[in-house]
C-alpha cells in the first residue's frame, strides 16, 4: 500500500471514528446521556488519526 493510499485510509477511518464519537448519543450507541469519557477519547483519537491521514495524503501529493 502506497503512502497516499495509507493516508486516505487513515483520513476516512479518522473521520468515521470522530463522527461516531461525536454523535454517539444522538444515534443511540452512547452509554451516558452526557458527553462521556469514552466519547472524549474517541473524539481525540479520531481527530489525531484524521490529521495524520491528511498530512500523509497531502505530503505524498506535493512530492510528485
What is the pLDDT averaged over residues 55-63?
Answer: 73
Domain that holds residue 41: 3-62
64 pLDDT exceeds 80? Answer: no
- Looking at residue 36, what is its pLDDT? 87
- Looking at residue 59, what is its pLDDT? 84
- Looking at residue 14, what is its pLDDT? 97
Residue-wise pLDDT tens digits, 21-35? 999 988 888 888 888
SS3 track for the chain: CCHHHHHHHHHHHHHHHHHHHHCHHHHCCCCCCCCCHHHHHHHHHHHHHHHHHHHHHHHHHHCC
Amino acid at each position: 500500500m502506497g503512502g497516499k493510499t495509507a493516508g486516505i485510509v487513515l483520513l476516512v477511518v479518522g473521520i468515521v471514528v470522530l463522527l461516531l464519537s461525536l454523535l454517539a448519543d444522538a444515534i443511540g450507541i452512547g452509554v451516558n446521556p452526557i458527553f462521556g469519557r469514552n466519547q472524549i477519547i474517541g473524539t481525540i483519537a479520531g481527530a489525531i488519526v484524521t490529521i495524520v491521514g491528511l498530512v500523509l495524503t497531502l505530503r505524498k501529493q506535493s512530492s510528485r
